Amino acid sequence: MGATLVEKIFSSRCGKEIEAGDVVMAAVDRAMIHDITGPLAVQKFREMNGNVVFDPARIVMLFDHQVPADSIQAAENQKFMREFALRQGIHNYDLREGVCHQVVLEKGHAAPGEIVVGSDSHTCTYGAAGAFATGIGSTDMGFVLRFGALYFRVPDSIRVEVNGAFAPRVGAKDLILDIAGSIGADGATYQALEFTGETFASMPMPGRMTCANMAIEMGAKAGIVPPDAITWKYLKGRRPDLKPFALESDEDATYAEWREFDATGLVPKVAVPHNVDNVVDVEEVAGTHIDQVFIGSCTNGRYEDFVEAAEVLGNRTFSDDVRVILIPASRDEYLKTLRAGLIERFVEAGALVEAPCCGPCMGGAFGLLAPGEVSLSTSNRNFRGRQGSTEAEVYLCSAATAAASAIYGEITDPREVE
């Protein structure tokens, strides 16, 4: 019987046939911990009588949620993690590199066929590189730090097949919002999304990251793009230890569901408060007043997103009525954007550009909203209270829609900006 990509990854790991529904204790290739969920994971590791971590070289540590430390308690947590890394011989990127999911990928810590866990729900982003990657809690992470393995219930897969080419100023974020709106916030619970079709086959890595990132917003355990020439090109130089190999689902693999989407004719999409699957065409909410625009996060904080925003912005300035906050997702993405002259253009136009971090996305550090305020954000969640007050509203969109809206101070269809 044929196997899905995810079944193949687990079968390969265990050297025997593993099917969806099986529960296996599987070794992990990498474990990622950060400043928010890391301290509790370390505490749990110790409570499990952990003394020495399973393999320091397989652990990735960095700080991105509350950096630079925004409170004494955050500073204490980061100090605690630094000391743990030092004692255990774990490489700690500290606050230098940026948002965890971007950094894990750009430093080559996830590759086709690998099993990666992170104590953060958006760990599913690494499916963009053909890895099976999933978010876990701190106690599970404590177990992983101790034993280098974890129980997995191998998920069955929903095949998401997308064909067609995007219209100008429409892209991966609009597509994944469309998919989330269709599948629903719990439509893929305990399942994996396998992203296929000609649209994904020709999609560059940044778009694949955007889509895999939001698999969790449908309840999925993982989102995975079959590795191909684009994947291996991205990994060249990042993973000199690997030679390209084939990894794809069998033609007769069994899927829980097979969903088809068309990129042709897709229009800019917006997720309206307060659920990610509450998705409408931009024209339905055009004209909605906004107080803040955030372009950044692990979903859409890459160089390509800033190129998209700059192309819409042109020589205009942002509305004086809007606080525009731009945060590149990593140091590398920041430098690319900087060297292309885009940072200068954004600052001239009136934006605040912050150093790489999660920023307003999770409402922990800065850029919080007051009651009654409205945010338009390229991040991944619009839950009530996500970016500050529970009486504020968050809308989600692409970088192009965010830039167009920031110019006019209201939600604007980017296709209508000349």
CB of 377 to other proteins, least distance (A): 14
Position 372 contacts other proteins (CB under 8 A)? no
Inter-residue contact 65 to 357 (CB < 8 Å)? yes
The tokens describing 33, both together, are 């911990």
CB of 40 to other proteins, least distance (A): 5
CB of 118 to other proteins, least distance (A): 8
Cα–Cα distance between 202 and 180 in angstroms, integer?
Answer: 21
CB of 311 to other proteins, least distance (A): 32
Inter-residue contact 224 to 190 (CB < 8 Å)? no
For other proteins, the closer of residues 379 and 412 by Cβ is: 379
Inter-residue contact 264 to 178 (CB < 8 Å)? no
Kindly indicate which of the ranges 143-151, 193-201, 233-241, 395-403 contains the residues binding other proteins, using the contact rule CB under 8 A. Answer: 143-151
Query: Residues 14-53 vs other proteins: string with x where CB under 8 A?
Result: xxx-x--xxxxxxx--------xx-xx--xx--xxx----
Cα–Cα distance between 48 and 52 in angstroms, integer?
Answer: 11
CB of 396 to other proteins, least distance (A): 13
CB of 163 to other proteins, least distance (A): 29
**Which residue from 152, 103, 148 is spatially nearest to 129, judged by alpha carbons?**
103
What is the footprint of other proteins within residues 324-363 (CB under 8 A)? Answer: 362-363
CB of 385 to other proteins, least distance (A): 5
Buried b (16+ CB within 10 A) or exposed e, 68-78: ebeeeebeebb
For other proteins, the closer of residues 73 and 264 by Cβ is: 73
Among 167, 185, 242, 338, binds other proteins (CB under 8 A): 185
For other proteins, the closer of residues 217 and 308 by Cβ is: 217
For other proteins, the closer of residues 187 and 356 by Cβ is: 187
Cα–Cα distance between 205 and 102 in angstroms, integer?
Answer: 11
What is the footprint of other proteins within residues 110-129 (CB under 8 A)? Answer: 119-121, 123
Cα–Cα distance list, 241 to 89, 152, 258 (Å): 22, 27, 35
Inter-residue contact 406 to 319 (CB < 8 Å)? yes
What is the footprint of other proteins within residues 262-281 (CB under 8 A)? Answer: 275
389: burial class by Cβ within 10 Å (0-12, 13-18, 19+)?
A: middle
Q: Residue type at 160?
A: V
Position 219 contacts other proteins (CB under 8 A)? yes
Position 163 contacts other proteins (CB under 8 A)? no
For other proteins, the closer of residues 99 and 170 by Cβ is: 99
The tokens describing 153, both together, are 């219930």
Inter-residue contact 157 to 127 (CB < 8 Å)? no
Among 202, 341, 383, 416, binds other proteins (CB under 8 A): 383
What is the footprint of other proteins within residues 224-263 (CB under 8 A)? Answer: none
Cα–Cα distance list, 195 to 10, 125, 157, 192, 235 (Å): 18, 12, 10, 10, 19
SS3 category, 141:
helix
The tokens describing 275, both together, are 């659920």
Which residue ranges make up the site for other proteins (CB under 8 A)?
A: 13-16, 18, 21-27, 36-37, 39-40, 43-44, 47-49, 65-66, 71, 73-74, 77, 119-121, 123, 135-140, 142-143, 146-147, 149, 151, 153, 185-186, 189-190, 216, 219, 221, 275, 362-364, 368, 381, 383-386, 389-391
